[in-house]
Chains A and B, each alone.
Chain A
C-alpha cells in the first residue's frame, strides 16, 4: 500500500502516523507538504494526521480544509481512494466537506488525554475488516474538540446507512455516561463517508501499535487498509 501523510503547519502526529504505517505495512509513507497541489502518483491512502493545523485558529481544521493539497485529496476521494483523518484530520475532513457534521468543544470544556475503549460498529469496511463487528478495542484519545455534532437529519442518515465506524464505550462495550469522554452525539467516535472510503475519527489508532505502549489494538486499522489496497 502506498500511503501519503499530509503535513500541515502545526500537524504534530504526522510522525506517529508514519511510524504506524511503516510498522504495520512495512512501507514508509510519503510526507506531502500542505502547499503542494498533487499527491504522489499511485497513492492508495491519504492520512490527515493529528495536531493543531494552523494553530486551530479560526476553527479547528478550517484553514487546513482549504489548503491547496486538499483539492487533490478531494479528487482522490472522489475517485474512490482511501482517506483517513485522525483527530485534527477528522476535523479537517468535516471542514473540507468530505464528511458531514462538526467537532465541537468537549462537553466538559477540558482537553482530555487518556486510554479509551471503542466499539467497532462496522467491520465490513476497508478500514476495519481486521476487527469483528461489536468488538471492543482500546486506543487513546487526546483532544479538546472531539464532541461530534450534526443536524438530526444528518445523524439519522449516518445511522441508517451504517456509517458510524466506532462509538465510545466502556471496557464491556456499554455506551453512555462516563464512557463518552466528550459529549459526542450518539457516542460517535468516527464516521465513514457515503462510499466508505473516507474515515474520520477522533481516537488515535496510530499510537496503539506497540505492546509496550498501551497495546496493539490500533494495528488492525492499518492492516485492514493494507489488505484492501492490495
Chain B
C-alpha cells in the first residue's frame, strides 16, 4: 500500500481550501487530517457542494406551496400534480467540464441530472436545457456548439428520453466560460418517492452501477474555481459518460424500488462516493462505515483518496433492507450491473473509511456538512440605469430590414439545427415540440400533460439584477400560460461570476431578490436548483444568468395552444400594455449595436392578470394560436407565428408614437393571440371587464407579413431569414445576420 502524502499548506491550497477553512478543520477534528480526509473535506466544502457563498441568500427564496411534496435539499424537487401523480424535476449546470471537453461535459451533465430524477423513484419523461455560448465570431464557439449539442443528444437519445425544449443564446461574455444547464423531468406515484435518508443501524450499504475509475477526480473542486489560461490542462478531470449503463441503471433501480428493498438511495454525482455516503448518513442521524476493498474498480491500484473523490458516472449508493439483499442482487445481475455491499450504517455518527486493513478517514459525519463554512460575502448593488426614450433613438434601418436582421440574429434565429439532433419524439407523448413557447408532454394516455420551459434574459439581469431576476421567472410563467398550462413550480440554475468580488456577489443577491419576489407573487415556488459560481475566465465574469426551469400542468393536452397561425381571416389580438420599452432590447443590441438602458420593468400583478385571462381563452378553445412576446417584441412574435403557420398577416396602423418602439419594444406581460373574427368583440369586452389591456391589431391571411408603413415581407422570406443562419454558421460560413 502506497504511503499517503504529508498534508502541507501547499497541498491544502491545492485542494481549494483557504487557510481559515483549514483552521476550521483542525478545530473540528482536533488533529491534522490525513490525505484522504483532506480530500473528503475539499469535496464537501467546495462551493459546488457546500453552497457556502449562496446558502444565506437561498434561504430567502419561497419553496413551499400546498402542492410541493419536496423542496430543495434532496436530489430533485417533487410536486403533486393530482391523480396520485408526482412530477420530479431539477436543473443542474455542467459549465466548466463542457468548456474543456464539450461532448463529454454536456453528456455527463445530462446523465447526472437524469440520475438525480430517477434516484427519487421517477421515470424520466422529458429533458430540457439552457445553453449559452460565446460570440459566434469567437474561434472556439462553433466547436463548442457542435460538441455540446452532440453530447446532449448522444446521451439523451441513447438513454431514451425526449429532449423537448430549451434555450440557446450567445454573448461575448461567455467566450471563455460557456453555460450548459440540463433539466430532467420525471414522473412517479406521489406516495412512492424515494429519499436519501438512511435508517436503521447495521443495514448494508450497497454500491450499484458502473465501476469506479480515476475519471473526474476533483470535478466538483474544478467547478468551484475560476478558469485560468490552463483550462485545457484540466481535461482529465472531466468525466466520461455511458448512457447505455445509465439506461440499465434506470431500469434496474426502478425494478428494485418496486421490490420494497430500498431504504435510502443517493446517486453518486459531484464528489462521488464521499458526498453520497455522507448525505445518507447525516440525513438519517447515522454513522457510515465503508470498506473500500469492496468497491468495484475499473483500474487497479486505486487509493482510498482516489476512490473517495472519483466522479465516475452511472453509479448509485443504496441502503437496503437486509432481508431483501439477495433479491436486489439478482435484479442488478440480470441487468449486467455491479452490485457490492461496501459498508454498513452505524450508530457512531462517524464517517469511517477503511482500505487495505487501515483506517484512512474517521470524521464526524454531520459536521462534514453542517459545519461547512458559511459566508456572507460583501456585495454591492448594480448601479441603476436610466430608461431609454424611444423617440431619442432613431432607427438605423427600416423596420422591415430590422425585423429580418433580428429573425436571423444568433439569439432569436431558429434553433432547429440544435433540436433536430435531439430525439424529441420518443415515448410518443410530445404534444408541443421544440420551437414554440413551452413544450407540452402528455402524461401516459392523457388527457393531462406537463408544460415545460427554460428561460432567462441575461442582458436584463446584467443591467438590473432585480428586474432581470423577476423577468426570468415571469417569462417562464408566461411561456407555460401561453400553451394553456397552470404554472406550478420552478427549478433554478444560478450561474454567476466570482462571489468573492462584491459586484458579482451583488448581481447574485439582486437576482435572487427579483426571483423571490416574482415566485411569491406568481405562486411559483422553487423546489430544486443548483448554484454555479466562479463562472469567469481570467478575471472576466459571465453575464449573471439565473436560468429558470418552469413546470406547469396542462389539464387537457388536446386544448394546448401553439404559436402557429391556424387559418386565414382570423383576428389578431395583442394582450398587455405596450409602452415601447427599448432599453436592453434585442432591437437595440442587434440593430443598433448598443446594450444599454434599463431593462423592461416587470409588473407582477399585470403579469398574473393578463396571463390568467389568456389561459382562460385557451382552455375554452377560443384562442386559436398564442405566443408570448419576449425578445424582439411584437414584430418578431408575429413573424414567428406566420412562419410556423405558413400564413401571413396584416397589421393595422399602430398607436401614435415611434413605430420601431411599438414593433420591437420588449414590454412585459404581453401575448399575441388569434381568434375567430366573430369572437373578437366578446373577448375584448371580457378583457376590459377584467382590467386586461387588449386590442385587435390586425388579421391573418395571404402569404406576407404586412407591417404598417412597410413593404410586405413574404412569409417565405421571413422563414429563410429565420431558418438559414444557424445551419450556415455551423457549416463554417459567416452568415451576415450573425455579425
Chain A contacts to B: CB under 8 angstroms: 9-10, 12-13, 15-16, 19-20, 50-52, 54-57, 110-114, 140, 142, 144, 204, 206-207, 209-210, 212-214
Contact = CB atoms under 8 A, between A and B. Distances in A.
A113 B244 contact: no
Given A10-B247, A12-B159, A142 B427 contact: no
Contacts of A51: 158, 160
Interface string B404-444: 00000000000000011111111111110000000000100
B431 A212 contact: yes
Contact of B423 (A19, A20, A113): A113
Contacts of A16: 426-428
Nearest to B337: A9
Contact of B158 (A15, A20, A52): A52
A114 B420 contact: yes
Given A16-B428, A56-B244, A213-B442, 12 more contacts: A9-B336, A12-B160, A20-B428, A51-B158, A55-B158, A56-B158, A57-B244, A110-B150, A111-B423, A113-B420, A140-B425, A209-B428
Contacts of B428: 16, 19-20, 206-207, 209-210, 213
B243 A52 contact: yes
A175 to B, nearest CB: 21
A114 B153 CA distance: 14
9 contacts: A9-B248, A13-B160, A13-B426, A15-B427, A52-B247, A57-B244, A111-B153, A113-B420, A212-B446
A207 B426 contact: yes
B431 A113 contact: no
B467 interface: no
B247 A214 contact: no
Given A52-B243, A111-B421, A112-B421, A142 B248 contact: no
B557 interface: yes
Interface string B373-412: 0000000000000000000000000000000000000000
Interface of B: 150, 153-154, 157-160, 242-245, 247-248, 335-336, 419-431, 442, 446, 557-558
A213 B244 contact: no
A155 to B, nearest CB: 28
A85 B558 CA distance: 31
Contacts of B245: 55
Contacts, number: 86
Most chain A beta-carbon neighbours within 10 Å: one of B160, B248, B442, B557: B160
A129 B50 CA distance: 63
A204 B160 CA distance: 14
Contacts of B244: 9-10, 52, 54-57
B280 to A, nearest CB: 28
Of A114, A142, A212, chain B has the most CB atoms within 10 Å of the CB of A212
Nearest to B434: A113
A73 B526 CA distance: 51
Contacts of A207: 425-426, 428
Contacts of A113: 157, 419-425
Contacts of B425: 113, 140, 142, 204, 207, 213-214
A19 B429 CA distance: 11
Interface centre among B154, B159, B425 (most CB of A within 10 A): B425
A214 B442 CA distance: 13
A9 B335 contact: yes
A40 B150 CA distance: 39
Contacts of A144: 157
A-B pairs, top 6 by smallest CB distance, nearest first, are A12-B160, A55-B244, A52-B158, A142-B423, A113-B423, A140-B425
A134 B244 CA distance: 39
B157 A110 contact: no
Nearest to A142: B423
Nearest to A109: B150
Contact of B442 (A15, A142, A212): A212
A112 B159 CA distance: 16
Contact of B430 (A54, A112, A114, A213): A213
Nearest to B244: A55
A20 B445 CA distance: 12
Contacts of B558: 212
B635 to A, nearest CB: 28
Contacts of B154: 111
A51 B158 CA distance: 7
Most buried by B among A9, A20, A57, A210: A9
Nearest to B335: A9
Contacts of A13: 160, 426
A55 B154 CA distance: 10
A111 to B, nearest CB: 5
A9 to B, nearest CB: 6
A110 B421 contact: yes
A156 B242 CA distance: 40
Contacts of A9: 244, 247-248, 335-336
B364 to A, nearest CB: 42
A54 B248 CA distance: 10
A214 B248 CA distance: 29
A7 B191 CA distance: 29
B247 to A, nearest CB: 6
A111 B442 contact: no
Contacts of B242: 55
Contacts of A10: 158, 244, 247-248
Contacts of B158: 10, 12, 51-52, 55-56
A19 B442 CA distance: 14
A111 B103 CA distance: 14
A13 B159 CA distance: 10
Contacts of B157: 52, 111, 113, 142, 144
B336 A212 contact: no
Q: In the complex, which of the residues B154, B421, B428 has the most CB atoms of chain A within 10 Å of its own CB atom?
A: B428
A208 to B, nearest CB: 9
B223 to A, nearest CB: 27
B634 to A, nearest CB: 29
A50 B247 CA distance: 14
Contacts of A112: 420-421
Contacts of B159: 12
A50 B159 CA distance: 12
B249 to A, nearest CB: 11
Contact of A142 (B247, B426, B429, B446): B426
Contacts of B557: 212
Contacts of B423: 111, 113, 142
Contacts of A206: 428
A123 to B, nearest CB: 25
B683 to A, nearest CB: 25
A113 B421 CA distance: 6
A83 B159 CA distance: 25
A62 to B, nearest CB: 14
A29 B557 CA distance: 27
A108 to B, nearest CB: 9
A91 B154 CA distance: 18
